[in-house]
Structure 1
Amino acid sequence: MLNDRMGIHSRANSTVNRNGEARPSSASRSSPLQPTNPPSSGNTEKGKLGGIFTGMSSSKNTPLNDKTAFSVTPIPTANTVSNPSQGGIKGSDILKFSEDNFDVELYVRGMLQHLPNEEAIQQLYHSLADAKDLAATDLQCNVYRNYNDFVVISKEISKLESDMLYLRELLTDLKDVQDNLRPVSDPENDTELVQMADDSLASPEQKRAAMAEALAKQRVREEELIESREAQMKLLYTNIDGLQKILPESKQRYLVRDGSKTHYWEVSTTTFKQKDMVHLYLFNDTLVQVSWKKSIITGKARMFAEIAWGLSEIGFIDMKDSPDVSNAFKIVRHPDASIYRTETLEEKRAILASIKRITDDILVQRRKEKDQVKNAAISKANTMTALLPNSNMDQYKNISDQLPVKDNLSATDYRWLLELPDELDVLVAHRDFDNSVANLEKARKILSGVDIKTPRVQMLRASVENRIEILAKLVTSDLASPVSTKSQVQENIDRLLRLGLGDQARDIFLTARTKTIRHRTRHLKFDGDVAAYMCDLAEVTFRLIRNTCDWYGGSFRDTTMASGFMKWVTLEIVYFTDILRRQVFNSRQSFSVIADCLSSALDQCQQLRDVGLDLGFLIDQIVFGDIEKAIENHSKSLEELVIQAIECDTYESLEPRIDFFEERGLVFDAEIPRMSESAYQLFTILTDFASDVGALMSMTLYNKIVASLSALFEVYVIYTSAALQKDFSNKQICVVLSNITFVVEQMLPKVKIQLEEQFERVIPELDEDCIRHKASLEKVKTVFVESSCSNLIKNDYNFSKVDYSNTAAILETTLPTEPILKLSVGLNKLLMNMDATLDCVLLVGRVIQLLFDKMVNTSAGWETEKGPRKFGFGGVQSLLLDIHFMLRVAETYITEDANKNANSVCEMALRAYFVQNKDLSVPLKTGEWYDKRVDEAVRKFGKNLALLTTGNTMSLNAKAKQSSS
């Protein structure tokens, strides 16, 4: 059992390296068990790695021997003893655990021979366990202590490759510069032309013919080559999607190497895992990566151009084969890099050779172009010199001698400026931006004092501007960080201002603040409550704008920068208002929600007043049109409700609902009439409109609110007046008249007074509405009179159909005819149906006047198909009695015109009687007889004609009681 335990612990403390060799165990690397005097034969070079790779050297480098003396630090446990017989562990035994040929069973067997009892065995076991724990703890501490250094070294190693590639690119540029300085001979000579020129036997004519033929053949070959290249390029543009976009057509471009037959695999630069298969097409100036992709429409795979590199912008590195990747090469365009591998080594060599040949041709072509430019300049200078006369030449030389050829840059400044780029690179690498900016300011100051632009001054200025651009990119990157504090932002802005990049600093800062506002607002939770969401949105937006104002004012003190900031604030408020419009107005929210949202926005906008920005008017201007449109839409919906209420109204007379108006805080000075349901619904609609729009009541909305109220009254009056055209009874007609009269004479003036109190001004628009609607009311009264008269003629008394042709003598007890009695009862009912608030005397008087007028002017009352209407002795006296009875019972309502028309009826009837009857021996009754018969009729039928006979405008309650009795 003990052997098994010892074996387990010893195996747990031993490890194996990548090559299968045993590494020192954790126990041998732990500080409590390390020898204090390491042997001199150990590898001292590996000891220099000290703190990072502590204890990682192999035991082979420091061979151990039982005879070697060690000073071993004892294990700090209670069970540790110095004698093996007592169960302790010697330092040499600890170091044996890391040997390659360590045998656990042999070691345990040897130890047990020196242990006298079970207690010593237990001590040995506990000592080994404690050694294991301490070694593990110490190893863990070493790992934690060295982890940061390990991370730093790993990052430096990863950057080393990119820096080496960048260095290679610089060396390549240096080589190009050196090559351009060397003279290059032009090797272009045609072999056939040389042979013909060297032929001494050929005549001049033969030489010229041969040269012409050779030149013609050469032109043909060139034309064929150009046509072939153009056809090749057209085919590529057709077969490869996206090639036209990343590689526009050019007559100078042609295909050098077709990559469709060679497969390359893109390899990850970090894990060296193989990714997608691609094709590489090599042109004379560009390298294009092409891959296969399936079309979404057809589902077929097509070639798609992904990346295009200019050959002058990239570098190629032939990578050595490794266990991770083989047949690979790297394409570098600082700071990016891509790795590709081929199936065979020959394919890799072929494409690298093609690329090298093309790049060499590019360099040669560049040298030719530079030489041509230089030769052209020299030729032009020689030509100008030859054309100048001698006197001008001397003058030119004198002027050229007087021109300064040196700048006033001191040697110290020049040396400092030359070393400045390297110093700036170090400062930037350590992110010491303040010293970098200070050095650049100093460099600019030195260069600004140099008046002559010599080549070295131009070179130094270009170098300084380049470093300014690099530093500005880093500073702007920090400035755009959303987690920067106020002090960090102001420091970065100050650096950019010192570099002369104020506009760029402002734009970067404001763009970053815009992104921050968008980020914060996107995190707001919308749970369906629009008012709560807009309140949170306004709070976040305007608080961040306010903070931005503080930061901006502390960073940009130049007043010329204020206009750009105001433009930014305006755009942010416009963006917020657009969200407000979408959330509130586009979703047709209620006016209470609109008022809450606008109130929240304007309240939060007040924060900007503290920094001198009062931009609440901007929100009002933007949403003004939406509010007007919302009021207009709401008004139209209410108009539809008014029309619906009128169409559904049966015009049944209802008792006055005084409590209905009192509950809504409205008290009328005059008595409330009996009306139908539509009038009460109109008042409810007006109340709802006032409560909805009341929260938005302002002078800017004065016209829209007044116009909406005016439209509601207009709709009610027009549609209610049109209802009189229907076949209504006199009772319904009276209700219609009561509705319109109450709305025009009481409700509209009351609304006008309330609006004047709200707006604190006179509202002439509603005054005009009152005048216009009163005119409409008069028209309604006219329609009421005509309708009532028509109903009375139709139902009670039709003069043309009453028989007054009786020729017999009239009895002394004769009473008015039944039609005239029915007419009187009808007029009395009309008065009962009319509300006391109406001008009953005037209206009924106009009805009676119209009745007599129709009796006089209606031809049907006096002419029949057989001729003039017949009036007999008894009939004409009955007509006179009827007229006298009507004038007596309706005396209160008889107007002067009505009395004239009544007399005209009597005169016309008597004239017809006298014309038609020759025997006039019996005289007609006198006026005294008519008065007696009328008095008798009144006494007999007076109870049913109380309102008509008394002419008293009774209250509605009294009329109701009389109607029920």
Structure 2
Amino acid sequence: MADFATKKIGAPDFNPEKYVKELSQRCVGGQELQQQRQKIQTLADETNILLKKNVYQNYMQFIETAKEISHLESEMYQLSHMLTEQRSLLSSLAATSLLGDKIPSAVDSDGATGNSGEGEEQKEEEESRRKLAAILEKVEGCVTLLETSGRTILHEGDLLELDPIENSALQRVHAYLFSDGFMIASWIPNRRGPVRYKFEAMYELGSLAVVNVRDMSSVKTAFKLLAFPDTRVFQCTNNQSKKEWLDKFEQAKKARFVQEQQKRESASQIERSPSRPSHSDSLESPSNPFEDADDSNAESELPEWLMEVPEDLDVCIAQRHFEEAYNLLERAREFLDKNTATDPVITDIRRKVEARVRALTEVLMKELEVSPDKSLQGGLRAARRAVRLLNQLGRSTQACDLFLKLCSSILKTQLKRVKREGATVLYVQQIGGIFFSNLTDMTREFLRAFPHSPSCASAFVMWAGSELTHLTSHLIKQVFMPQSSITMLAECVTCVRNQCDQLSELGVDLRYQLDGLLRTPLTRALRDAREKLVDAVKLRAVEDKWHPMNLQSKAGLTKFLQEMSDIGIASIHTYVTGQ
């Protein structure tokens, strides 16, 4: 059976949903399903053990392969750098004559003045790419460094990362400040070849804030890096190095701000410009001159609110305006879904929006998390907003899990307030009333929060069953004691069963589970009471002194025998004497 299950699960066309449906149709009752689940779990454990064995056996091969790949990557970077230098050298040789004067190329013959500026820009771009290629040779894992056009390096240097809370040294890093971001690379202790550092993180300059840290006794010449949700502290070697870093950060921020402002101004000018093409454009254009050529350009321009979406989302999340953040996310998603162009700006905005979605989800999940220092005074009503937004964000499973944990914490807090004072029946009535009334309110809140979610409904039923099990085990310890009377036990069980019936109005029937949990201790209590009664009757019978009774007449004797026979003592005639 196990081999057949292994072959079926390991087949290429294996369908989990179909397999589960077949199991549910074939198995009768929950016990067989539990057995099948245990078999599948055993199969999963065996597979994990085999995978671990294979990993352990080929562990050294994995390490050697990773090292070889890293060496090959560094060699490829070196070859690329060498080819770039050779190409620039050949182009300079081709443009130089034997007498030392420049040979005009075919492009230069068209316009020397315009192309001279382009040549300088090309030289600057080649120089920046050469520097980036040199960084690629030193840093492992930053393959995408050359993919962004116009990226230039502004500053670099060694830093010491500190713990933001304890101010203790964590690691040595090498930092690079680019025109659009800040890259951190950690030192490689056992390095081979030209690779010195390993890529660790890359922060965008727009979502980055640099804060000066005042010199204290334990920390000096340090600055703080704020990048949501990270906070990192770096220490420089001296005050001059710290001043250079802060100045370079400020220059990079200003340059980026000016660049974005120019882009916005150009975009606004394009939007304000008339859509009618000029006469020269209509003559030079090979298409129909009567078409509106600027319509496509106007439509391709992104609106200003979309460019500011990441910053607006950060503000909404920080100010706990979660509904506004969700509405803004939906608006941005709708716009990005309609615009499927492979524009790098749109791709960057889409990536930032997804990052804000994850940040909003984490904040909402923290709203539902239970912690010792968090007050539960608001109850489940305070969690409605977070649960609703998580459902809208497609995180119903996580919302349901956190919602049920919150319910467990509230139930535990409410039941702790009940003190056992007075009669046992009153205590059971009080604790049962609190438990089932709270469970009823939680069921209503759950049905309101997850109206159409079968998986969440099954999780709620399992949770309610586990909470009922905890309550029943507590009642068994408190009520089913040797000195408890049958009358008191009957009153307690009747009270709990009646309180459990109020859940049936909401479609949650836990009576069968309650009866099953109480059956064993109740049977034991009845058996003990029966044994006590039998022992008491035997003791009374032994201690009682029997005296003969004279009924004076045969009619009186017949009447007495008939009465004894009616109450089940038909064998008393054997004790009649002297008829």
- Report TM bin, short chain: 0.3 to 0.5
The two structures have a TM-score, normalised by structure 1, of 0.29
Using structure 2 for the length normalisation, give the TM-score.
0.46
Q: Which has the larger radius of gyration?
A: 1
